[in-house]
Structure 1
Amino acid sequence: MIFASARLAFADIFSAPFRGALWKALGLTAVVLVALWFGIAAIAEWFAVPFLSNLFPDVPAWVDQAGTLAGWAAGFALAILLAFLIGPISAVIASLFLDDVAEVVEANTYPEVSAGTAMPFVPGLILSVKFFGVVILGNLLALILLLVPGINIAAFFVVNGYLLGREYFEFAAMRYRTEAEAKALRGRYGTTVFLAGLLIAGFLAVPLLNIFTPLFAAALMVHLHQRVSRKEGGLIPGEATSAARMVRG
């Protein structure tokens, strides 16, 4: 069930129907990263010049050059941190398009079931912030645990596997269920969701490929939720969607 869902999700993210969400997410991520690069470089240069001017008032030309170097050094430091930043930034941006991803998966692979209900703007924005917080927290915890001998890399996968699996599965489930129902379903299939989360963590650990993590995770969990729902007796077309819509108002 898990590997079949992962295989379908990996094929999904590079398929033609996904390209709209994919390019929007990648484009916005690139814009944010470039803006961070130049913004931090400019701020570093802006602070460095007055500071160095006070220390070396007789060499203004050297101070200007040093300020420029400080700006570029800050940009270089940011480049080193991209491996850490690209995951959270792409997560919060791509989360704005997760419902688009879910709709494509549901329509193309599960046409016999009515499409789920997208979240309204405000709850969707809250979910985006939540995804950002989860990825940041997971990576910070994993970074701290990297210093503990014997568990380091395993900690990264366990922490991210649990957090990412939980959040993305509940996202997929809440397109058809209330939040309480989604959490209860995840509880009944906790091991399955965690193992699927480990696959997402593995995706996140691969440089460059990790920018696709939110789209892969959303597609994976939509597939998994649909398959789990079949084991639960199936989603009745229209009824679950209507119930979710009534709860969300």
Structure 2
Amino acid sequence: MLSDAFTAFAQIFSPRLRGVLLKAIALAVGLLIVLAIGLNVALNHLVDIPSYPWLETTLAIVAGLGIVLGALYLVPAVSSLVAGLFLDDVADAVERASYPGMPPGTPQPIARSLAYTVRFFLIVLAVNLCALMLLLVPGVNIVIFFIANAYLLSREYFELAAMRHGSPAEARALRQANAVTVFLAGLLIAPLLMVPVLNLVTPIYGTAFMVHLHKRLAGRRRSRLIEGA
């Protein structure tokens, strides 16, 4: 698994994926800016600030820091959305580079891909907003943030990669049969969310990593079926 993680991280900066990486980063930054503006507008409408200059300045600084922190908690949701949009580009590049002798995956129908991506975006957004509400509970919010995103992102990235080679039900079954392995892989993805700048490459890294993991687990499953035949 560690070799898959290192290989995936190296590949996201390769010429094959550099263009996709830059587009994904640009989209993620744009979405975070839009969400931050939305948070700021909501804050201004919900909070009635008395007209004291010193208080306005203090609250503006606190609000700014709050928006930055809030944006950090929104990165996983943005990451899940970006991953769904660029999945096939990333997966195709990784499969061509690392598995040239194997049949390539089939891109998902646009409607199914968008529905799956939006559904996961809303789930991840809800979970991370809940984690944000626990901000005043020292330590607990970080643990929840880390574990919840390790599970959610590993689940999404793996199933998206697996659906290029089978139905959604088959992808889900393969993930469930290897639930511990997939979750442990998620623990190698989640730390990136806490590192500024690097958290922007999470969708590309997570997708590439899960393409490798899927190939390995699917190959192991085929070997067991052949041995049992």
Tell me the TM-score range normalised by the shorter chain.
0.7 to 0.9
Contact 1:44/1:71 (8 A) holds in 2: no
Q: In structure 2, do the counterparts of structure 1 residues 89 and 155 end up closer, same or farther at CA, with 3 Å as the change threshold?
A: closer
Of stretches 70-79 and 124-133 in structure 1, the one that deviates more from structure 2 is 70-79
**Once the 2 structures are TM-superposed, how far is the Cα of residue 210 of structure 1 from its aligned partner?**
1.2
Asked if the contact 1:87–1:211 (Cα under 8 Å) also holds between the matched residues in 2, the reply is no
Question: What SS is found at the alignment partner of 2:222?
Answer: coil
TM-score (norm 1): 0.74
Q: Distance in 2 between matches of 1:152 and 1:41?
A: 22
In structure 2, the partner of 1:98 is 87
* Correspondence list, 1:25-64, <5 A: 25-37=24-36
Q: Specify the structure having the higher radius of gyration (Cα).
A: 1
State the distance in 1 between where 2:114 and 2:26 align.
Answer: 19
CA drift of 1:184 comes to 1.4
- Change in CA separation of 1:94 and 1:185 when aligned onto 2, cut-off 3 Å: closer
Aligned residue number for residue 17 of structure 1: 16
Q: How does 1:103-114 map onto structure 2 within 5 Å?
A: 103-114=92-103
CA-to-aligned-CA distance 1:172-221 (integer Å, 9 cap, x gap): 11100111111111122111111111111222232321111111111111
Find the counterpart in structure 2 of residue 165 from structure 1: 154
- Kindly provide the amino acid, as one letter, of the partner of residue 17 in structure 1: R
- Assess if the C-alpha contact under 8 Å between 2:76 and 2:149 holds in 1: no
Alpha-carbon contact 1:204-1:213 (below 8 Å) kept: yes
Return the alpha-carbon distance in structure 1 between the equivalents of residues 80 and 196 of structure 2: 14
Q: Deviations over 1:135-172 (max 9, x none)?
A: 22342344456666775544333322222222211111
Matched residue, 2:170 = 181
Distance 1:145 1:4, change over 3 A: farther
Please name the residue that 1:192 is paired with: 181
The answer to whether the Cα contact below 8 Å between 2:80 and 2:156 also exists between their aligned partners in 1 is no
Residue 226 (structure 2) aligns with: none
Q: Which residue of 2 aligns with 1:84?
A: 73
The percent identity for this pair of structures is 44
1:163-242 aligned within 5 A: 163-233=152-222
Q: Tell me whether 140-149 or 150-159 shows the greater mean CA deviation.
A: 140-149
Q: Conserved in 2, the CA contact under 8 Å of 1:40 and 1:75? A: no
Q: Give the root-mean-square deviation of aligned CA atoms.
A: 3.4
Please name the residue that 2:113 is paired with. 124
Bigger shift: residues 76-85 or 93-102? 76-85
Does structure 1 conserve the Cα–Cα contact (< 8 Å) formed by 2:27 and 2:82? yes
Aligned counterpart, 1:241: none
Distance 1:87 1:125 in 2: 17
Q: 1:11 to 1:134 in 2, by over 3 A?
A: farther
1:120-159 equivalences in 2 (<5 Å): 120-143=109-132, 152-159=141-148
Equivalences, count:
221
